[in-house]
């Protein structure tokens, strides 16, 4: 049984041509197991967001190979007919800002993507209720985003990312707009999700104090990926 949720091999991304060519990612390799929580760190401008957008099948690589689960989705070209459908069904996204739609209530924000996937209304509503119970936010189901705090809205963004039952969640600095206490709360929730739901998460962060909560740290170094496993991780911090 394949335990790998994502694998990238010799992934490269460059912009421009000739003398104007700039290599951002050059020959990156790593794999992510199911239920694994990884941090992605690097200085500003080193290519973190570029890498994340390639992993999310939003930005086309220059070359290399991306495997999600058992499926090779990119091998020097896209091998999927509809990359948007792939993102909707297999990948969840969380950003620094929650980007909730202000004129929709919380339930409507969370159910929007599953409905776009053509899922049954009753099944979706039941799943969303379970997610909201899981995140201890069920009493906010019919609130508007403007009625919630920043930390609460970020939890709703997590619920939205879970709503399509993704295999992988890509989180681009999800705690940057939060204070320390709320940031730790969100990261603990993400870790809980990986452990209990088997979802793999890659989180871009500049906050080194959050790294002990992750299973491995991916660092962009010399345009490649350096991997360090967090052997000192202790379950007590959860």
Average pLDDT across each block of 10 residues of the chain; the chain has 238 residues. List them in order.
88 90 92 94 86 93 94 93 84 88 95 89 92 91 94 90 91 86 87 91 92 93 88 47
In this structure, are residues 128 and 112 in contact, taking their beta carbons and an 8 Å threshold? no
pLDDT in tens, 144-198: 999 999 889 988 999 999 998 899 999 998 888 888 888 888 898 899 899 988 9
- Count the residues in the chain: 238
Q: Where are the domains of the chain?
A: 4-237
The verdict on domain 4-237 having CATH code 3.40.50.800 is no
Alpha carbon distance, N-terminus to C-terminus of the chain:
28
Among 179, 181, 187, smallest CA distance to 158 is for: 187
The upper half-sphere exposure of residue 207, i.e. CA atoms within 13 Å in the direction of its Cβ, equals 20
Beta bridge partners of 96: none
Residue 145, classed as helix, strand or coil, is helix
Percent of the chain topping pLDDT 90: 58
């Amino acid at each position: 049984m394949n335990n790998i949720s994502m694998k990238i091999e010799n992934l490269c991304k460059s912009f421009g041509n000739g003398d104007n060519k700039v290599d951002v990612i050059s020959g990156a390799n790593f794999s992510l197991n199911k239920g694994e929580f990884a941090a992605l760190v690097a200085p500003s401008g080193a290519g973190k967001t570029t890498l994340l957008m390639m992993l999310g099948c939003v930005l086309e690589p220059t070359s290399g190979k991306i495997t999600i689960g058992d499926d090779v989705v990119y091998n020097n070209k896209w091998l999927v007919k509809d990359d948007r459908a792939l993102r909707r069904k297999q990948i969840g996204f969380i950003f620094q800002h929650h980007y909730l739609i202000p004129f929709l209530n919380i339930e409507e924000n969370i159910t929007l993507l599953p409905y776009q996937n053509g899922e049954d209304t009753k099944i979706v509503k039941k799943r969303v209720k379970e997610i909201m119970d899981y995140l201890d936010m069920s009493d906010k189901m019919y609130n508007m985003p403007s009625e919630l705090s920043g930390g609460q809205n970020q939890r709703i963004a997590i619920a939205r990312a879970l709503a399509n039952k993704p295999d992988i969640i890509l989180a681009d600095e999800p705690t940057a707009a939060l204070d320390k206490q709320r940031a730790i709360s969100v990261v603990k929730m993400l870790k809980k999700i990986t452990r209990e739901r088997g979802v793999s998460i890659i989180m871009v962060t500049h906050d080194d104090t959050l790294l002990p909560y992750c299973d491995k740290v991916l660092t962009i170094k010399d345009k490649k990926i350096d991997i360090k496993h967090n052997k000192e991780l202790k379950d007590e911090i959860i």
